[in-house]
Amino acid sequence: MIGKNLLADFYGISPSALSDSSLLERCLREAALESLLTPLREPVLHQFEGGGITGFLLLRESHISFHTYPEHGFLALDVFTCGRSDPEKVVEVFRKYLSPSHDQIVTAVRGGGTP
């Protein structure tokens, strides 16, 4: 196995939280810290007209990214890590700050096949 790719769909989040760039930047920073991941740059966030936000944190171990849809109370989170890091800890941080009513998590092993 080379890495893990975790996809998390969070539902039932308040639209104000999904439009709060400061809160979402805090999620990215704390998620990297709690997961022992190494940021290579500052987080990048872009807020769209209407409130949705796309965020990205480039890591030595790969990346964390998200897309928010305030009008649907939905956040899509993508965490790709290699090495010993634990992408589930990233999910825990986002859960703590966003309090989704429910979520769906899918994890894929990357580079686990034979050539």
Where are the strands (E) in the chain, listed by range? 3-11, 44-47, 53-59, 62-69, 74-82, 102-110
Selected catalytic residue, list 65, 82, 85, 102 = 82
Q: Which of 19, 35, 62, 85 is catalytic?
A: 62
Contact 86, 100 (CB under 8 A): no
Catalytic entry in 19, 67, 72, 99: 67
Contact present, 64 and 28 (Cβ < 8 Å)? yes
Residue 27 appears among annotated catalytic residues? no
Q: Which residues are catalytic?
A: 62, 67, 82
